[in-house]
Amino acid sequence: MDILALNCGSSSVKYQLFDWKKREVIAKGMVERVTVGDSFIIHEVPGRETYREEYECPDHKVAIQLIVKTLTSKAHGVVKSMDQISAVGHRVVHGGEKFTRSVMINETVLDAIKEVQHLAPLHNPPNIAGIEAAQANLPDVPHVAIFDTAFHQTMPEHAYTYPVPQEWYEKHGVRRYGFHGTSHLYVSKRAAVLLGKAPKDCNIITMHIGNGVSHSAIKNGVSVDTSMGLTPLEGAVMGTRCGDIDPAIPGFIMEREGLTPKEIDGILNKKSGILGITGEYTDRRDVIEAAEAGNTRCAMALEIEAYRLKKYIGSYCAVLGRLDAVVFTAGVGEMGWLIREKALENLEHIGIKLDKEKNRKTMTRKQETMITTPDSAVRVFVIPTDEELVFTEDVVAILEETYTDHMQFKYSFAESTFQRK
């Protein structure tokens, strides 16, 4: 059984083909610059050289046609025909309150996803375009939607409700939803294994830090709070997103600069965060290098990001009461030892004793590592995330009709015998 996972962004399509029987990735890659011109595909197969081909993709339908062409190519492919694909799993960023778990896509489900696309106007439209394009290219294959927001639907009402007029929620769905749910699910389950406990017995703070950043407070195995809100703009400092700011700032700047709502939204999403502070960088490696060379704005960006991370650890520790572990994941979380060190400094009073030497050596996306000392009351782990594996297991379980709530469902990676390939 081969499962194709698709993650369609506004100008890219990421894909992974997974052999469920062998439990291994057959191929993965990305089509970049979809809809914007000069598009190309990067195709990776274990044991082979990476393949790159320039191919104009004016829309997602052509991009997925290119993926199909590449996967079945005699020279670079891995399957004889797409008949070998058992199902396709699609990442959908926003499911609103309609979806609390992954679902098989039918016309009703697709209509429901379209009904909430105004809650994620930068993300859901390309997700929908990808679903429709994949259905057109693979019409006889089951398609499954996996929602970023689903994992956080266990938040209590007092955690997801904003202190704004209640009719905003009733009429427009204004509330906290949260994102990166599949990543938080995966690393929290892995952390429970590393702690030697069942997920229901664990209180964990998970910190997904990449270009997009979100944190989650997980109590007894379920999300009770998360940093992103109605949209992925709220929360921590991110690559180009501002995160938490005074809500009066947008209106103030709109008035002073004569900006429209669309223009200010674009600035807060695409020109703020690390980019806004440094003026030129989003990649934390570039920021660190520039800071070491004396760039004061980059040095300040690192301090701001680490300070905000520390604040979230403290606030979620208060929410959870007993804290078993903190988990860092995603690109910066897995590779950024300096940012982890700054965020975890002077937290001995809440039981975190960082092993600085071990933390500095932990710069890998392939290994799970504990970076606290053996006597640390709270353990801190660096755990590479694997959202595509969550996609795949959800799809297979739905096909086999064994899928249920994640606290009841037995994911392979939640077992002590699981080995990451």
Residue 178: name the closest of 97, 240, 124 by CA.
97
Q: Are residues 138 and 213 in the same domain?
A: no
Q: Are residues 139 and 201 in the same domain?
A: no
Within a domain: 420: no
Residues 366 and 241 in one domain: yes
Specify the CATH number for the domain of residue 104.
3.30.420.40
What's the angle, vertex CA 54, arms to CA 50 and CA 55, rounded to 5?
A: 125
Side-chain half-sphere exposure of 38, counting CA atoms within 13 A: 0
**Count of all residues that appear for the chain in the document:** 421
Token representation of residue 68: 């199909």
Last residue of a domain, one of 80, 115, 147: 147
- 161-212: pLDDT as tens digits: 999 999 999 999 999 999 999 999 999 999 999 999 999 999 999 999 998 9
Q: Is the pTM for the entire model greater than 0.85?
A: yes
pLDDT tens per residue, range 303-338: 999 999 999 999 999 999 999 999 999 999 999 999
pLDDT, position 199 = 95
State how far the Cα of 44 lies from the Cα of 182, in Å rounded to an integer: 23
354-385: pLDDT as tens digits: 999 999 999 887 899 999 999 999 999 999 99
Residue 421 has pLDDT above 70, yes or no: no
What SS3 class is residue 309? helix
d(CA 331, CA 283): 10
For the annotated catalytic residues, the residue numbers are 148
Q: Considering the domain boundaries, does residue 152 fall inside one?
A: no
Is the separation of the CB atoms in 281 and 275 below 8 Å? yes
Are 169 and 161 within 8 A, CB to CB? yes
7-11, 56-60, 116-120, 390-394: which has the highest mean pLDDT? 390-394
Residues 244, 102 within the same domain: no
State how far the Cα of 174 lies from the Cα of 168, in Å rounded to an integer: 6
Give residue 35's pLDDT.
Answer: 82
Predicted local distance difference test score (pLDDT) of residue 50? 93
Helix (H, G, I), strand (E, B) or coil at 276: helix
Out of 88, 112, 147, pick the residue that ends a domain: 147
Can you say whether the dihedral through the CA atoms of 84, 4, 86, 122 is positive or negative?
Answer: negative
Domain assignment present for 312: yes
Domain of residue 89 covers 2-147
Domains in the chain, number: 2
In the structure encoding, which two tokens stand for residue 66, read together?
């290119």
240: helix, strand or coil: coil
Give domain status of residue 392, yes or no. no
